[in-house]
Structure 1
Amino acid sequence: MNDFLSALILGIVEGITEFLPISSTGHLIIVNQFVGFSEQFANMFNVVIQLGAILSVVVYFRKRLIPSGRNKPLENQRIFDLWKKTIAGVIPALAIGFLLGDYIEERLFNTTVVALALIVGGLILLYIENRKPLNRITSVEYLTYKTAILIGFIQCLAMIPGTSRSAATIIGAMLLGASRIVAAEFSFFLAIPTMAAASGYTLLKSGMLLSTHEFLVVACGFIVSFAVAWLVIAGLMNYISKRNFKPFGYYRIVLGIIVLAYFFLI
């Protein structure tokens, strides 16, 4: 398959799945079974296109995340408080990822684990949506540091491929009393330092020097991932203002069953 076509496909997959509770890593592992990148280049490429998705969060929520100058001290204080809670929430993932990241990558990055994690995560999403919602936390600003850190610990489950970082944080936030919108927003914000740290570590560890062709392939995936992720974020925020996460739960279960059946039958 043409490298640029592969980059386009993977960029679209990453952009669609990164912030939906359906596991971008799981989808990329599955799609990489059919896309012809070498293993080392594929790992590096997947990391870089995740950075494109991160940038889309910063751009979409720029008014919530970027201080606007000295003329709005109260607004800037809210932004700094949000960043401090976000950093607090990412500490568990940094610590556990540093200790167990390589072990998890060696032992669990396979289609069987992805499929099982998709199914289990889907069942949990359906359970969350079928119970009476708590909705005690109606704004991200009302999250306490304790709640942010607890969500961060739950996020660590996403180190199991197929679980979905987005699903783990959304489920964790809703279990702790957050509304759907707050859970989704904090999941977006928590993605920025979490994915930036994981991506930076992977890139440093890979130590790859890119040829001009490889750089252009990576750039293509990055741009596509950014554009698609921005559209998905906008669509998801509109969707959850009116509907629940049940369709994502059903999708995970069906996809997990299909993946198990396919890879056990071939």
Structure 2
Amino acid sequence: MWITLTGIVLLLFAWTAGATIGDRNLSTTVAGQDTPAMTVGQAIILGVVEGLTEYLPVSSTGHLLLAGRMMGIGESPSASSAERQRTRDAADAYTICIQAGAIIAVLGLYFRRVRQMLQGLLGRDPNGSRLLANVAAGFIPAAVIGLLFNKSIKAYLFGIWPVVAAWFVGGVAILAVGWYKRNTRGPVHQGLVLEELTWRMALVVGFAQCIAMWPGVSRSLVTIVGGLVMGLSLSAAVEYSFLLGVVTLGAATAYDALKYGQMMLQTFEAIPIAIGLLFAFISAVVSVKWMVAYLNRHGLAVFGYYRIAIALVTAALIVTGIM
């Protein structure tokens, strides 16, 4: 209930804040538009939404697309269709690059594991070498499929209805996996520890991660569920999801930053982008700490209910013409 109310409040806040906060902050304007492409206020909202949702199994990309639409980013009526498309393309790239703030947060929170993998890379820690190999095995499928289908994914799946569908199906999947674990393997907290993960199991989780290229599915969701299905305990599945996310999200962020960095700077300028990254970092620290503590006590079910609820609420807003 708490997370559902928080999500609804976040969306309503994003909807209204775009028109109130932004006008009083530093901002940038795309040529031909009489309103800013993205204000500092909007960048803060996007940063908070990104940080809070990146590592929760609720889809940060879906939330960012929804928040951007509700704030009207790239929808200035005075801009030409080409200018609006350019702003939307820059905004789509920004939803990827803003992940850098959340990546840095996890690097800090899980520095012990990161150091262990670095020691393993140098041949000084066998467990670190094994964990590094497992992270690499999980990353390979996403790297290959992402490079092959990146354009098609952005062309056909970066829309609000695909996100709504993914939210709903993902919510049902969480509840189904929870039921399966309880009735076949016992509580989700029982299972293998991270050191018992094999490269074959990691590869399966990596292929599962590819499903999350569909915005709204949630990379965190499919990697955690994939880890549970492979027999990991919930805490081990969550930790592996975080570590795999650092590599996967880092690669996606670097790719889009190199490809669209100049477009983002020309459209939004450096100050809003930097402020969004800062707030993504701060909110990710809070979110990850809360999530780990919450999951140890309650499990994943609440996220399943949340996804179903936000899918139904968003669909209702679209159908009624409110959004």
- TM-score normalized by the length of structure 2: 0.77
Asked whether 1:4 is paired with 2:40, we answer: yes
Work out the CA distance in 2 between the residues paired with 1:246 and 1:212. Answer: 40
Work out the CA distance in 2 between the residues paired with 1:160 and 1:150. Answer: 18
Query: What secondary structure sits across from 1:34 in the alignment?
Result: helix
Residues paired across the two proteins, number: 264
Paired residue for 1:99?
148
Paired residue for 1:119?
168
Query: What secondary structure sits across from 1:196 in the alignment?
Result: helix
Work out the CA distance in 2 between the residues paired with 1:173 and 1:67. Answer: 21
Contact kept in structure 1, 2:135 and 2:244, CA below 8 Å: yes
Report the CA distance shift for 1:57/1:99 in structure 2 as closer, same or farther (over 3 A).
same
Q: Deviations over 1:6-57 (max 9, x none)?
A: 0110011000100000000000010010233531331232222201101111
Partner amino acid, structure 1, of 2:58: I
Paired residue for 2:195?
141
Report the CA distance shift for 1:181/1:67 in structure 2 as closer, same or farther (over 3 A).
closer
Paired residue for 2:79?
none
Partner amino acid, structure 2, of 1:20: L
Report the CA distance shift for 1:49/1:207 in structure 2 as closer, same or farther (over 3 A).
closer
Work out the CA distance in 1 between the residues paired with 2:195 and 2:60. Answer: 27
Q: Among 188, 199, 208, which residue is 2:253 paired with?
A: 199
Aligned runs of 1:171-186 on 2, under 5 Å? Answer: 171-186=225-240
Asked whether 1:167 is paired with 2:221, we answer: yes
- TM-score normalized by the length of structure 1: 0.93
Contact kept in structure 1, 2:51 and 2:280, CA below 8 Å: yes
Work out the CA distance in 1 between the residues paired with 2:269 and 2:70. Answer: 19
Comparing 125-134 and 24-33, the one that deviates more: 125-134
Task: List gaps (5 residues or longer) in structure 2.
Answer: 1-17, 23-38, 75-86
Work out the CA distance in 2 between the residues paired with 1:97 and 1:164. Answer: 15
Aligned Cα root-mean-square deviation (Å): 2.1
Paired residue for 1:156?
210
Report the CA distance shift for 1:205/1:254 in structure 2 as closer, same or farther (over 3 A).
same
Q: Deviations over 1:239-263 (max 9, x none)?
A: 1111111110000001111111211
Work out the CA distance in 2 between the residues paired with 1:52 and 1:33. Answer: 22
Partner amino acid, structure 1, of 2:65: I
Partner amino acid, structure 1, of 2:260: S
Partner amino acid, structure 1, of 2:52: I
Asked whether 1:214 is paired with 2:250, we answer: no
Moved over 6 A (4+): none
Q: Report the identity percentage.
A: 34
Which one has a bigger Cα radius of gyration? Answer: 2
Contact kept in structure 2, 1:52 and 1:226, CA below 8 Å: yes
